[in-house]
Structures are given as structure tokens and as C-alpha cells.
Amino acid sequence: MKTIDELLSEGVAGKRVFVRADLNVPLDGTTITDDGRIRAVLPTVKALADAGARVVVASHLGRPKGAPDPAFSLAPAAARLGELLGADVPFATDTVGESARSTVAALADGQVAVVENLRFNAGETSKDDAERGAFADQLAALADLYVGDGFGAVHRKHASVYDLPGRLPHAAGYLIAKEVAVLKKLTEDLQRPYVVALGGAKVSDKLAVIDQLLGRADRILIGGGMAYTFLKAKGYEVGSSLLQEDQIPAVQEYLERAEKTGVELVVPVDALSATEFPDLKTKAPAHPTTVAADAIPADQMGLDIGPETRKLYASKLADAATVFWNGPMGVFEHPDYAEGTKAVAQALVESKGFTVVGGGDSAAAVRTLGFDETAFGHISTGGGASLEYLEGKTLPGLAALED
């Protein structure tokens, strides 16, 4: 995989460089609530601009239906990028149309522009190779070189991620190079004990990675909504907690495999429960009850790991040489159900091992709960991409960057 440093050494002054970034930031209306992904691509954009390139930044945001939708405009991200760069960043109001062509044509050496949400064009996400390829051809007309730095999208076979690199001389940006190096530490250069903490809502989203980790990790700690399918699989009463009944046989098989292979697969011993889901807008007090994990009342749902589980998980993380964490332990967006996620994050901060926060809601939780990002070994920008890499899948966006 060619690096951006190699590209820079060959000279980029005056050349149009298409940077496929991941500016898929959370928005409250037009206000960005977490600019971590924008900050993550800054080193690549700045290096290219400082070297005199005419930088064209492109990304997706949300899931528009292949047509323009103001709710998913990249305009707020473009404005924030300009603030972080301390420079005017022109914004094209389309992807490959007149605005994009004229905006790119007007760029001076060292200037950066952003084009509108790539998913406003149906060709970006099309499963039809010809339609996707046609859109990639239009994107290629905007640039002389391609730099892939949108790690959060490399598991997608999309036009700007998979097809476009084949049409232009290409290299990996600093963020992708860093993310891949970290993932190799979790797969090829592993230091033990290796402890994985997995949370989030659905166990079905994590089955494939658990399957792989059962042959690699020393301990797997289960939290979040997915924990209740594990508890039910052990024969426990979980009340009205989130449950995927159809996944119970698979979970039971994993529990048996873990016992046979000596992998510690640890589930909660207690939980915070309530009769209803908390109001995440008003954050009104929820008054949860602490209950044993095997005796959640029939009319209550588990919404966070309990105090004994917090202590247990902290102890299981204490001696780890390598930690990977993906998924919150509870409904961390509400203060009454944030303590489980805080406890796992704090355990990573206190760890002497190499700690990786696996993107998505885990990364958002770290920032929302006020942790110093530098206290972690690495905070990934791509939860889905990280999980698929750990599952052993070939990621289209990485394969396309290979020479």
C-alpha cells in the first residue's frame, strides 16, 4: 500500500488531489455534536495543502436515498474543517455537477474545497458495477491523484471507496495507515493477556467477531443490550430487556465453545433496571433499581451493567496487555445509565496495556463522558470497519489501495 509520504515525495504541487475522508459526523440540526472524524483527517489534508496540492475533500454523511436531502448536507462539516484549518474552504453544492466542477477549477495551490455528500448520487452506493463505475468516472474527472483516508467507510464497496482508486494514482492517508497499524497489533502482533469488551444493542451485530475472538482473545466481557441475550441463553429471567430470541442457539454454542477452549466469556452479574426506557431529551431522573442479572423483574428492562459488574469488569481489564473495546455497556446518553460505560473507559485509562476504543458509540461515549482522548492508545474512527477487519474479512477500500 503506497503511503501519502511517498506521494508527497513525488511532488503534488498544483495537482488536484481527491481525498476520500470520513466526515460522517453526528448532527443536531446543523450543529456538529462530535467533530472527532473531521479532526482525524486534518493531518492528511494539511500535509497535502502545505505541499501545494489543490485538495478536494469528499465524504458521505448519513443515509440519504441517493438524492439530495438538506438534512444530510456536508455544509456544516465543510465549515468546521475550515475553522480547524484556519482557512476559507469553498463548498460545492453538488458532487460532480457544475458547482463541483467550477469549485475545483477555481482552487489555487494549497487550497482545500469540500464537495457535497457523495450519497446524494445513487451511483455511490449502487450494487450495479456499471452504475457505480460511471459515478467513479465522474469523480475521477475532478482530480489527478487519489488519497484514501476515510477509514469508517473502507468496509463498503462504494464508488468513491472501491472504484475510484483504480482510476487514479492512489495512496493511503495518515489516518488509514494508523488504523491499519493498530489493527495489525490486534491480529498479527498481539500482546497477552488480550481482553475484549463488547457492548451495544444487538448481539447479531457482534456474532461474527465473537466467533473469531473465541480463537484469539483470553477474555471477552459482554455488556450493553446484547448482554440480555447471553443471560437468557444461560436460562436467566431478563424481564422486558432487549432480547434477540433467534440468536439464543448461537450464543449458547459460543458459551460452550468458550468453556471448552478456556476463553473467559464474562457476562454481567447485576444490572440497573427500570420499567421504561429513559427520556434522552430531557434527561429526567430515571430512578433505576439494581437487580441480580439472573432475576430481572418481569416488568423491568436492564439498561446498564450494575455496580458489582463494574467492579468485576475493571478487575478483568486490570492486567491486560492489549484491550479492544467496542460498544457501550448501557444507555450512556442518560446520566443514570452511564456508569457502566464510564467504568470500562476508566479501566482502559488506568491500564498499562495497549488500549483501543473501537469507534462508533464507544468513541462517542469517551468524548461525551469527558475522558481525555490521549489517555487511550487509539480511538478508531470506524466501528464497523474495525469489527469486519477483526472478523478476518477483506475490506474493499483497503484492497483498492493495495498496489
Q: Which residues are catalytic?
A: 37, 202, 360, 384
22 labelled as ligand-binding?
yes
Compute CA distances 403 → 141, 162, 165, 172, 197, whole Å: 21, 13, 10, 11, 35
170 labelled as ligand-binding?
no
Among the residues of 224-375, which ranges form H helices? 227-233, 248-261, 307-317, 339-350, 360-368
Helix axis angle, 339-350 to 360-368, nearest 10°: 90
Which set of grid coordinates corresponds to residue 28? Answer: 443536531
166 labelled as ligand-binding?
no
119 labelled as ligand-binding?
yes
Which set of grid coordinates corresponds to residue 222? Answer: 459482554
In contact, 313 and 221? CB cutoff 8 Å: yes
Rounded CA separation 65/121 (Å): 9
Helix axis angle, 174-187 to 383-390, nearest 10°: 40
* Burial track 2-36 (b if 16+ CB lie within 10 A, e otherwise): ebbeebbeeebeebbbbbbbbbbbebeeeebeebb
362 labelled as ligand-binding?
yes
131 labelled as ligand-binding?
no
360 labelled as ligand-binding?
yes
Starting at the edge strand that comes first in sequence, how are the strands of the sheet with 54-58 ordered?
Answer: 91-92, 112-115, 54-58, 16-20, 145-148, 170-172
CA atoms within 13 A on the CB side of 14: 2
Which set of grid coordinates corresponds to residue 298? Answer: 418481569
121 labelled as ligand-binding?
no
Which set of grid coordinates corresponds to residue 361? Answer: 458509540
Compute CA distances 60 → 57, 64, 120, whole Å: 11, 9, 8
23 labelled as ligand-binding?
yes
Beta-strand ranges (E) seen in 120-262 are: 145-148, 170-172, 194-198, 219-222
* Burial track 80-98 (b if 16+ CB lie within 10 A, e otherwise): bbbebbeeebbbbbbbbee
In contact, 376 and 141? CB cutoff 8 Å: no
127 labelled as ligand-binding?
no
60 labelled as ligand-binding?
yes
Beta-strand ranges (E) seen in 134-262 are: 145-148, 170-172, 194-198, 219-222
333 labelled as ligand-binding?
yes
206 labelled as ligand-binding?
yes
DSSP result, 310-346: HHHHHHHHTT-SEEEEES-SS-TTSGGG-HHHHHHHH
Looking up cell 481525498 gives 19
**Residue positions forming the annotated binding site for (2R)-3-phosphoglycerate:** 37, 119, 156
Residue numbers in the known binding site for ATP are 206, 302, 333, 359-362
Binding site residue list for substrate: 22-24, 37, 60-63, 119, 156
Q: Which residues are annotated as a binding site?
A: 22-24, 37, 60-63, 119, 156, 206, 302, 333, 359-362
